[in-house]
Amino acid sequence: MKSTPSKFGKTPHQPSLWTRADALKVHADDPTTTQPLVSANFPVLNDEVFIWDTMPLRDIDGNITSVDGWSVIFTLTADRHPNDPQYLDQNGNYDVIRDWNDRHGRAKMYYWFSRTGKDWKLGGRVMAEGVSPTVREWAGTPILLNEQGEVDLYYTAVTPGATIVKVRGRVVTTEHGVSLVGFEKVKPLFEADGKMYQTEAQNAFWGFRDPWPFRDPKDGKLYMLFEGNVAGERGSHKVGKAEIGDVPPGYEDVGNSRFQTACVGIAVARDEDGDDWEMLPPLLTAVGVNDQTERPHFVFQDGKYYLFTISHTFTYADGVTGPDGVYGFVADSLFGPYVPLNGSGLVLGNPSSQPFQTYSHCVMPNGLVTSFIDSVPTDDTGTQIRIGGTEAPTVGIKIKGQQTFVVAEYDYGYIPPMLDVTLK
Ligand code: FRU
């Protein structure tokens, strides 16, 4: 770590807490916060690859941006192995569920382009094999920097370790499509420090990933959100009065919830290019509530900071639960205090009849929410499922004050641009 003094001198803020009391207000199947049922007859973008986390190209202010009329998205992607003996079951049939579940270990960044903001065409891999320093290329954010088409891709280099990195390249357009050039030199930015953010040595199940850089609309500085866990040895965290919140009698028992320690991290850039970063204390912690607050991102609206993050049922702590989906918090200034949207935090969850239908929601500033299809039941008992690995129908939400409402559903993978940049 560099020894440059902090821009702030001392800790600039106290993390806001997502409490157990807040989480007790989470209710699956409220129609205003539940994603419409995804049909098992969904179309698949490409049957040679699985895709999941989708990262639309955007500018540093968060606007989804097309270039010369072409929309561009990046996705975490893995090959499908229908003919690989390793993925055949005892009867010789392709075990697509196992192939899908193994995808994280071979995740690579791919890109896609479109004239219509849907019907995406596969562009290919962003980085050639051997460019990225680790096996796994995990989620992040592509930022269009200028009218020359330069793009900084921030992402997470995982296994060994987990490092927030960036790689610079350029988007090139023709009448027929889009290609990405460059993306040849990956620059490591930072790793968990063990003081604010938990390290692998402190917890083998630590999370440190998913960078989302942005310019604060109020102070104009460059920051970055990321997913972390609160520093400290696994099992050493305290779930006290503050983490419990104002619970009714009979709800004081926290069980083993000390093992759930998610947080939304933030770093500030020391330079304008975003090559030199300083981690700051988390914006939001979920100790005793949930172990993962993934892919954190903002929507800046009405002078407020809407902080969104995705989470799972299986990562909730003892005594609290909620659906897989996107959760949100709002504050009047960047460093909070943040309060949970809709009282609970839940913004868009899966219906309980299809608990794994979608995940990895990204709320865009136009209120559209993109996600991917994970698995959808194909019979009434839910024992037969169809694996997705493709784009889900986009959902429209309205954000009003401290509340959100599901108001619309659009086509599969519909990610329209908010701005178009003509390249020079
Ligand atoms: C969300 C996520 C990200 C991570 C990636 C790994 O779906 O868990 O946090 O970067 O998927 O595949």
Mean pLDDT to the nearest integer, 304-311:
98
Other Cβ atoms closer than 10 A to 5: 9
Mean pLDDT to the nearest integer, 348-365:
98
Q: 320 CA to middle of ligand 1, Å?
A: 23
| Cα–Cα distance for residue pair 334/6, rounded to 1 Å | 18
Give the per-residue pLDDT at 380: 79
| Cα–Cα distance for residue pair 398/293, rounded to 1 Å | 22
For residue 383, the one-letter residue type is T
Mean pLDDT to the nearest integer, 57-86:
97
Q: Is 295 in the pocket of ligand 1 (CB under 6 A)?
A: yes
C-alpha gyration radius of the chain? 21
Res 9 pLDDT > 60: no
Give the per-residue pLDDT at 3: 39
Q: Is 53 in the pocket of ligand 1 (CB under 6 A)?
A: yes
Looking at ligand 1, which atom is closest to the CA of residue 359? 7
Spell out a b/e string for 328-346, using b for 16 or more CB atoms within 10 Å of the CB, else e.
bbbbeebbbbbebbbebbb
306 CB-side CA count, 13 A: 27
| Cα–Cα distance for residue pair 339/16, rounded to 1 Å | 8
User: Which distant-in-sequence residues (6+ apart) come within 8 Å of 260 by Cβ?
Assistant: 286, 287, 288, 289, 290, 291, 315, 316, 317
| Backbone φ and ψ of 143, nearest 5° | -120, 125
Mean pLDDT to the nearest integer, 326-333:
98
Res 393 pLDDT > 90: yes
Residue pLDDT, tens place only, 96-107: 999 999 999 999
Res 357 pLDDT > 70: yes
Give the per-residue pLDDT at 315: 98
**Domain 16-421, what fold?**
Tachylectin-2; Chain A (2.115.10)
Mean pLDDT to the nearest integer, 407-412:
98
Q: Are 288 and 259 in contact (CB under 8 A)?
A: no
| Cα–Cα distance for residue pair 267/244, rounded to 1 Å | 27
Domain boundaries, given as residue ranges, for the chain: 16-421
The separation between the first and the last C-alpha atoms of the chain, rounded to the nearest angstrom, is 38
Give the catalytic positions in this structure.
53, 294
| Backbone φ and ψ of 96, nearest 5° | -65, -30
Res 1 pLDDT > 50: no
**What does each C-alpha distance from 51 to 56, 102, 131, 156 come to in angstroms?**
13, 13, 21, 17
Res 21 pLDDT > 90: yes
| Cα–Cα distance for residue pair 267/225, rounded to 1 Å | 7
- Token look-up 């040849």 returns 184
Res 423 pLDDT > 70: yes
Choosing from 206, 264, 294, 373 the residue with most ligand 1 atoms within 8 A of its CB, the one to mutate for a pocket test is 294
Give the per-residue pLDDT at 11: 57
Res 4 pLDDT > 50: no
Give the per-residue pLDDT at 383: 83
| Cα–Cα distance for residue pair 378/356, rounded to 1 Å | 13
Phi-psi domain of 345 (left: phi exceeds 0; alpha: psi -120 through 50; beta: other) = left
**What does each C-alpha distance from 205 to 40, 233, 295, 316, 320 come to in angstroms?**
33, 11, 17, 14, 20
Q: Are 266 and 282 in contact (CB under 8 A)?
A: yes
Q: 68 CA to middle of ligand 1, Å?
A: 30
To which H or E segment does residue 375 belong? strand 368-377
Output 3 or 397, whichever has higher pLDDT. 397
Mean pLDDT to the nearest integer, 175-201:
98
Q: 158 CA to middle of ligand 1, Å?
A: 11
Q: Is 156 in the pocket of ligand 1 (CB under 6 A)?
A: yes
Q: How would residue 405 be classed by pLDDT, with cut points 50, 70 and 90? A: very high
Mean pLDDT to the nearest integer, 15-29:
98
- Token look-up 């960036």 returns 166
Average pLDDT, the chain: 96
Q: Are 185 and 167 in contact (CB under 8 A)?
A: yes
- Residue 417: both structure tokens together: 């641009």
Write the DSSP symbol of residue 332. Answer: S
- Residue 129: both structure tokens together: 């094999």
Looking at ligand 1, which atom is closest to the CA of residue 360? 7
Mean pLDDT to the nearest integer, 377-403:
94
Give the per-residue pLDDT at 7: 53
Share of the chain above pLDDT 90, in %: 96
| Cα–Cα distance for residue pair 363/294, rounded to 1 Å | 13
- Going by their DSSP bridges, the two strands 385-391 and 368-377 should be labelled as antiparallel
